[in-house]
Amino acid sequence: MVYELIIGLEIHIHAKTKSKMFCRCDAKYFSAPPNSHVCPVCLGLPGALPVPNKKAIEQCIKLSLALGCNINKFSKFDRKNYFYPDLPKGYQISQYDLPFGYEGNVEIESTAGTKSIRITRVHMEEDTGKSIHSGAKTMLDFNKSGVPLVEVVTEPDFREIKDVTFFAKRLRQTVKYIGVSDADMEKGQMRFEVNMSLRKVGEAALPKYKVEVKNIGSISVLEKVIAYELKRQSELLDKGETPVQETRGLRDLTGVTHSQRIKEESNDYRYFPEPDIPPITFTDEQIFANRETMCELPTDKKARYMKDCGLDSALAETLIATKGRAEWFEQAIEGVTDNKVVSQIAKWFVGDVIAFMNANKVKLAQLKLSHEMLRELVELLNLGKISSTIAKQILPEMLETGKKASVIVKEKGLEVVNDEGAINEIVKKVIAANPKVLEDMKKNPAAYKFLIGQVMKEMQGKANPQVVDKAILEALQEK
């Protein structure tokens, strides 16, 4: 039987702040000695009082706005009660019925065009400590305890693995753009949880069960988990069984899941308002200020590049991959009004420049090529002063030395030869060496084009291809 995927995501993102969510401990705990970033608050000692981190709340509001959410002007923190050794208070401070952001919407590019993914909520909470299992012993490190976490919850709107991947990548890109998080997945700064079930194609109701897989630390593993669960759940449904509603975990990065526990209902957590933190209110002005100071989002940038600059989707997508890359491109096209030139600059940048950076592990900030230099290169090409063969040849030197195209061209005498006499001479030589061409042209009038390449080769790419084309046709007519 063929089934349709029903997937909702929960994503935990470490907000980028100096200190933790409710205390002044340094939030940059990664690779610090165990329990070196702790205090009575994040150790959950009795009597310690939490004070909310304003910056973290702002980050949560920003992400909510970026995901098209409404903002609760009256909000509060709640206690989510459960026992676990890495949660010394016996509860996690989270948000229950009044999250900062709710009812958002994100557009993704799906197989059948644009698709909307509804965002249920965006709320703020604190991370837990870390249990380290070593043989029969379990050790606890509370450096991560109390690090601010923003949780994004989507509605079960995903129907294809590809859509999940697109959304996950776009979300990661967005949080990095707006500075909410570095979203470094290797450091656990972004983790996914997938809620998944299957229904028969054509059915409208949501399935009666839901399987949750927690703590997925990379987008590729997320894809593998979905593929594995699709197979596992399909097989059960084919046998007439209903998969158990449960939480499943991962043992490794293969995507294979195993049963952990039967899923808790939210009332198992006995949520109640956090008595030590007063409710939080926002004014319209405060919300507006967060919106105003936010940079252009990747999706909007892409749409603008396509609409205003006439770039195609793939090229625009490559340009917006990182905020730095998009900003570099925007500076390179500053003052350029002709979209043909904009598109040329874009192509040289994503093609040759980025390829050079990847091959030589060079970062944008270390690039010796300035925006003006790339603009000049394209300009020389358009003026017919150099051929594209020469441009391709000198760009690596520009990247390596920081020398301008015009300087290299001059130094090496690479300027295009427009001298018809010199060109005609080579043309004659090439035609004489390829006498079959006239015969070929009877079948295919464009057969002579092959000679252009031969002439260019003879002249080390320094001829103007249009002049060569004309010269060849004239020489052939004389024959």
Contact residues: Zn ion, CB under 5 A: 23, 25, 39, 41-42
Contacts of 216 (CB under 8 A, 6+ apart): 191, 192, 193, 194, 222, 225, 250
C-beta of 42 vs 374, nearer to Zn ion: 42
* Comparison of 31 and 366: residue with beta carbon closer to Zn ion: 31
Question: Among 356, 340, 339, which residue's Cα sits nearest to residue 399?
Answer: 356
Measured from the CB atom, the residue of 53 and 197 that comes closer to Zn ion is 53
Distances (CA, A) of 20 to 85, 112, 179, 277: 20, 43, 17, 15
CB of 42 to Zn ion, least distance (A): 3
Alpha helices in 252-361 (DSSP H): 284-292, 298-309, 313-319, 323-332, 339-348, 354-360
Closer Cβ to Zn ion, 29 or 329, answer by number: 29
Kindly give, in sequence order, each residue whose CB lies less than 8 Å from that of residue 191, ignoring residues fewer than 6 positions away: 11, 12, 185, 215, 216, 217
Specify whether the CB–CB gap between 46 and 70 falls below 8 A.
Answer: no
Least distance between Zn ion and beta carbon 49 (Å): 12
CB of residue 270 to Zn ion, shortest distance in Å:
25
CB of 186 to Zn ion, least distance (A): 24
Looking at beta carbons only, is 42 or 437 nearer to Zn ion? 42
15 neighbors 163 (Cβ within 8 angstroms): no
Helical residues (DSSP H) of 35-104, grouped into ranges? 54-66
Q: How near is the Cβ of 75 to Zn ion at its closest, in Å?
A: 23
Residue 111 to residue 123: CA distance in whole angstroms: 30
Q: How far is the CB of 275 from Zn ion (least distance, A)?
A: 20
Instruction: Find, among 390, 382, 377, 385, the residue nearest to 456 by Cα.
Output: 390
Q: How far is the CB of 86 from Zn ion (least distance, A)?
A: 15
Q: Which residue has the tokens 């390596």?
A: 400
Min separation Cβ 217 and Zn ion, Å: 24
Report the DSSP beta bridge partners of residue 262: 246
Residue 243's contacts (CB-CB under 8 Å, 6 or more residues apart) are 197, 209, 211, 232, 233, 236, 237
Q: Give whichever of 276 and 400 is closer to Zn ion, judged by the CB atom.
A: 276
Q: Which is nearer to Zn ion, 88 or 351 (CB)?
A: 88
Give the H or E element holding residue 248: strand 246-250
Q: Kindly tell me which of 41 and 190 has the beta carbon lying closer to Zn ion.
A: 41
- Nearest approach in angstroms of CB 124 to Zn ion is 17
Please report, for residues 329, 439, 443, 473, the alpha-carbon distance to residue 447 in angstroms, rounded to integers and kept in the order given: 39, 9, 8, 11
CB 316 within 8 A of CB 305: yes
d(CA 229, CA 158): 15
38 versus 63: smaller Cβ distance to Zn ion: 38
Residues in the chain: 479
State in angstroms the smallest separation of the CB of 55 from Zn ion: 15
If the CB atoms of residues 29 and 328 are measured against Zn ion, the closer one turns out to be 29
Of 42 and 311, which CB lies nearer to Zn ion in the complex structure? 42
Task: Quote the CA–CA distance of 14 and 63 in Å, as a whole number.
Answer: 12
Q: Least CB distance from residue 19 to Zn ion, whole Å?
A: 8
